[in-house]
A and B are shown apart, each in its own frame.
Chain A
Amino acid sequence: MPAKDIALMAHLMRRAGFGADYDELEKRADRGYEETVEELLEPGSHGVAAYDEYTLARYYPDMEVPSAPALGTSNFMYHLYTSPRPLVEKMTLFWHMIFATGNSKVDNPPEMLQQIQLFRDHGMGNYRDMLVRISKDPAMIFWLDNNQNHKKAPNENWGRELLELFSMGQGHYSEDDVKMAARAFTGWTIGPKIPRTPYQRHHWSFIYKDEDHDHSTKTFLGREGDFNGEDIIQFILEDEATSQFIARHLYNFFVEDDVQVPSWFDIPPKNPEAVNAIGKIFRESDFDIRTTLRFILNSSFFKDESAWFAKVKNPAEVVAGTIRLVGDFAEPKPGVMDMGLEGAYQGQELINPPSVEGWHTGREWIDTGSLVRRVNFVADMLGNTDFPGVQSIINRIGQKGTLSPQNLVDSCLELLGAIQLDKGTREELVTHAQSGGELKRGSSEADVSAFGTRVAEMLQLIAATREYQFG
C-alpha cells in the first residue's frame, strides 16, 4: 500500500470522521478513496448499520433519558467515538456547532438529545427541510424563546438568530427584516407537556397555534404578504447569501480554518473559489447536503496536501479521535461520563455551547489552559499500554527487529495516522529516542514491557507536539 494513499485516507477519516486506527486505514485505502467516501455518505446502502441504541440503553439507561446534563453530554460524545457511521456523527457535530443550543438554559438534557438526534437523522439530507425541522424543534424553540413569541407580544430572539447565525449571516438583512421574521414565526410553540413517567422530565412537542399567529401583512426582504415561517425560510434560501454562508461554514469545518464567524461579514473567505463552488453545488442540488459533501470530499481543494493538518482539532475531535485510536470503549463501561466531561474541560461542552453563537474555533480552541488539558489527555491515553490500540502499535513496531531512533519516531508517526512533523520537531524526538539505548524488543517479559514503555513514551511526546494539535 503506497504511504501516500494511507496518508490521504488518514486525512479523509480525520475530517469526515474522527480518525481511524492503522488497520482501518489500510483496509479503507485498499478499497479506494471514492469508495470510502461513498460508504461514509451512504452507510445504510453499504451495509453499515447505525449504532445500536439499545446497547447503550442496556448498560446506561440513564444516558438514554439523561437526568443530568453531563449524562447528555456524554451520550453525544459516546456516539462520536463509537458510531460505525462517522460522517453521520461528524455532520451531527457540524449542525450542533451552527444551531448552537445550550442546556444551560434549556435545562432538559433529553430534549437536547432529541435535537442531536434530529441532526443525526437529517444532517445529510436537505437544508430547507433542516431549517423547517429546527424551527419546530422544542429545545430550539425554548432556547431562543419562540414559545414567548406571541401575536400581541413578539419576541425577536429566534427571528434574529435565524437570519444572523443560521442562514444569511450578518449584513444581509435589516432590523425590520428581523422583526418581520419574528412575527412570521409567532404561534410556533411548544405543546402542553405530557408526563412520560411520574419521575422524569416531560417530553416536549411542537404545536402551531394559529390563534397566536400574526396574520397581518409583513414586509420581508422586499416581499410583502401574510407570511408564515415556511415562507420566511423559502425567501431566505432564495437569497444567495444563505448558500454562501453555509458553504463557508462547510469549508471552514471540512477543509481549512477560517477567521471567526463574526468577522465573515467584512473579511472574505481564504479560498473564495472553493467557497463559491460549494455554494453553487449547494444551490444547484436544491440544498442537498449529501451532494454538497460528496463534491467537497472529492474536490482537489480538499484532497490537496495543503489542506492536510490545516485545522486545529476541536476538543470533540481530540477526545473521540483518541478513543478510536486506542480502541477503548468498544462497549459501554465505567468512565463513559469522564469522556463527555473531558471535551468540556478542553473547552467544548457538548449540548452546552457558551451561547447561540456557538464556539469560537481554529486557534481559539487553544489557550494555555486548554492546551495543557488536551496534551495531558492524549498523552495519558497513549501512555496506557493496556489499550488494544496502543498494544497494536507496539506490536507492529516490535516486529521490525532492531530500530534506529529515526525508525522508531517515523514508525510511531505513521501508525498514529501518518502524522507530519516539522523537521525540527522530528529531530528533537529522534534525539530523545537516542538517549535510551538500543531499540529492540527482547524476549523476556521484562524486556517486552520495557520496550512497550519506550514506544508509549514516544507516542506521548508526539501527542504533546504542536503539530499533533492539528487535524
Chain B
Amino acid sequence: MAKDPILVVFQLTGGNDYLNTIVPRQDGLYRDYRKNIVIPEGEEIPIDDNYGFHPEMGALKPFWEEGKMALIHGIGYENSPRSHFRSMDIWHTCEPDKIGTEGWVGRATKVVDPGKENVLTAVNFGQGLPRAMAMKGVPVASVSDIENYGVLTGINGEQQRQRALERFSRVYSPAIGTGPVMDYLGQTGLDALKGADILKVAPEMYSSSVEYAATPLAQKFRGISMVLQANLGTRFFYTQSASWDTHASQMPGHKGLWQDASRSVSDFFADLREHDMADNVVLIMFSEFGRRVVDNGSGTDHGAAGVAFAIGDAVKGGHYSEYPSMKSKDLQEGDLAPNYDFRGFYSTILEDFMHLDPTEIVGGSFEQLSFINK
C-alpha cells in the first residue's frame, strides 16, 4: 500500500528577504539597489547561471542538485498591506479581503480526517497555535517539548492519577458547560488527553544517528521526526522560525537565520532518509512577505513579493513562476510586484501531493504549477 503523503509547513516568521535569499546574480540592478544589504559578488552559492543561494544555504544545495527543490518565485498576493499582522493572517487564512478565523491547514485537516479519528492528524511544534491550523472542531496537538508531554503528570500515585484523568475527561465532556469558549475548552481538553496518550510513545521509540543542532528550531524538527517514526498517522506538521524581520543589522542576522534553517531542514531529511521515511514527505517554506528592493542602510523594510520553497522526493525541482522584474517601472511602491498567488502554491500541494480538492480549502481556484511529480 502506498504511504500517505505528509506535509511539513515551515514558516519563516517576520518577512524573509527574497533578494538576498535567491540572489539574481546576473541582474545589475540588484547591486544598484542594494548598497549595504547585499551578498558580495561571488559569495552567493550559484545554483545556475542566473541565480545563487544565500551563502549560508549550503546545506540546502544538495536538494537543488538532486532536483528535489522547487523555487516558487514572485509569490504573494495583490495589494500587500505590508503589515506582519495582516500578511501572516492572509497566508494563514487565505482571506486577503476580510479577517478570517479558520486556517488552511485546519481546513485541510478536516477534509483528511472529517470524523476526527486521529487527534494527531495535525501537529504543531512550538508554543501557541498558528492561525493556519485553527479550525472549529479540528484537534491540533501543540507540542513544545515532546519528551515531557501529558496531562496532570504531577499527581502522585499511578492509581490516583488514573482516577484524576478519568474525572478530567468527564468534566471536559460536552454534556457540561455552555457557550462557545467552554465548548472550545472542552474539546481542547479531551483532544489533549487523547493526543498525550498516543504521543508519549514517540520519544521512547525514537533512535537516530543524526545529531541535530541544539537550537530550538532544530529540536522542533527532531520532534517532528520522532512523531513520524512512531507512525502515528500525522499528515500535517507545522513549525516556525523567528524573527526574519530584518529592518536593521540584517547582514549578521539573516546569516544566522539561514544557517539554522538550512541545517535543520537538511538534518531532518537525513534523519528521515536513514529510516526510509523521506519519500512521502514534502516540506514547504514560506514567509509572509519579501522585503523592500532598496535597503535602508542596515536592513530592509517590509516589501511585497517573496519566494517559497517545496522540498522532497515528490518535488520536481526547478524554477517556477518568474523572478519579478527589478526595473523601476515594474516595482510596486518600491517593492517587487507579486506575480503568483500563494493560494495557487497551496492548491498545487493540496491537489497534486495531498490528493485533496483545494477549492474549498484555499477559497477558490488559482493557477497551479507543476512542481509535484505525478
Which residues of chain B from 28 to 74 have a CB within 8 Å of any chain A CB?
Answer: none
A367 to B152, CA, bound (A): 16
Q: When the two chains form their complex, are residues B164 and A464 in contact, meaning their CB atoms are under 8 A apart?
A: yes
Q: Taking the complex as formed, is A48 at the interface, i.e. its CB lies under 8 A from any CB of chain B? A: no
Interface: A383 (CB within 8 A)? yes
Measured between beta carbons, the chain B residues less than 8 angstroms from A435 are 163
B302 to chain A: closest residue by CB: A157
Number of interface residues, chain B, beta carbon within 8 A:
62
Known: A262-B89, A354-B242. A372 touches B248 (CB 8 A): no
Contact between chains at A469 and B185 (CB < 8 Å): yes
CB <8 Å contact, B127 and A425? no
In the complex, per-residue mask of B147-190: 1 if CB is within 8 Å of any chain A CB, else 0: 00111111110001001100110111001111001101110110
The CA-CA distance from A375 to B165 in the complex, in Å, is 12
Q: Is the CB of B184 within 8 A of A363?
A: yes
Is there an interface contact between A262 and B86, defined as CB atoms closer than 8 Å? yes
Which B residues are in CB contact (< 8 Å) with A263?
Answer: 99
In contact, B297 and A432 (Cβ under 8 angstroms): no
Interface size on A, residues (CB 8 A): 65
B16 within 8 A of A: no
Q: List the A residue with the shortest CB-CB distance to B134.
A: A364
Cβ–Cβ < 8 Å partners of A157 in chain B: 247, 301-302
By the criterion CB–CB under 8 Å, are A461 and B177 in contact?
Answer: no
| Max count, chain B CB within 10 A of own CB: residue among A363, A366, A460 | A366
Please tell me if the beta carbons of A347 and B151 are within 8 angstroms of each other in the complex: no
Chain A residues contacting B160 (CB-CB under 8 Å) are 457
B299 to A148, Cβ gap below 8 A? Answer: yes
A156 CA / B142 CA spacing, docked (Å): 35
Contact A376 B170 (CB under 8 A): no
Query: A373–B98 Cα gap in the complex (Å)?
Result: 33
Q: Are B170 and A347 closer than 8 Å at their CB atoms?
A: no
- Check A156–B301 contact: CB distance below 8 A: yes
Give A369 to B153 CA distance when docked, in angstroms.
Answer: 14
B243 & A104 in contact (Cβ 8 Å cutoff): yes
Interface check A3, CB cutoff 8 A: no
Query: Contact between A155 and B247 (Cβ–Cβ < 8 Å)?
Result: yes
Across the interface, do B185 and A432 meet the contact criterion of CB distance under 8 Å?
no
The contact of A148 among B139, B153, B189, B247, by CB within 8 Å, is B247
User: Which residues of B lie under 8 Å from residue A339 when comparing CB positions?
Assistant: none
**Complex contact A155–B301 (CB within 8 A):** yes
Q: Report the nearest B residue to A161, measured CB to CB.
A: B83
B195 within 8 A of A: yes
Contact with A along B292-304 (1 / 0, CB 8 A): 0000111101100
CB–CB A465/B248 < 8 A: no
The answer to whether A345 and B151 touch (CB under 8 A), given A429-B167, A461-B167, is no
Minimal beta-carbon separation of B172 from chain A (angstroms): 6
Task: Tell me if A277 counts as interface (CB < 8 A to partner B).
Answer: no
Known A369-B124, A428-B171, A429-B167; judge A153-B297 contact (CB<8 A): yes
B298: A residues at CB distance < 8 A:
148
Contact between B243 and A370, CB atoms less than 8 A apart: no
In the complex, what residues of A have CB within 8 A of residue B297's CB? 148, 150, 153
Q: Is residue A337 contacting chain B, with contact meaning CB distance below 8 A? A: no
Task: List B contacts of A105 (CB < 8 A).
Answer: 243, 245
Binding site for A on B (CB under 8 A): 13-14, 83-86, 89, 98-99, 124, 127-129, 139-145, 149-156, 160, 163-164, 167-168, 170-172, 175-178, 181-182, 184-186, 188-189, 191-192, 195-196, 242-243, 245, 247-248, 296-299, 301-302
Interface residues of A (CB under 8 A from B): 102, 104-105, 142, 144-145, 147-148, 150, 153, 155-157, 160, 164-165, 170, 257, 262-263, 266-267, 312, 344-345, 347, 349, 354-357, 359-360, 362-364, 366-373, 375-376, 379-380, 383, 422, 424-425, 428-429, 432, 435, 457, 460-461, 464-467, 469-470
Question: Could you list 12 further interchain pairs (A-B, Cβ under 8 angstroms) beyond the known A155-B296, A157-B247?
Answer: A148-B297, A156-B301, A262-B89, A266-B99, A344-B127, A345-B127, A347-B128, A354-B242, A355-B84, A368-B195, A369-B192, A422-B178
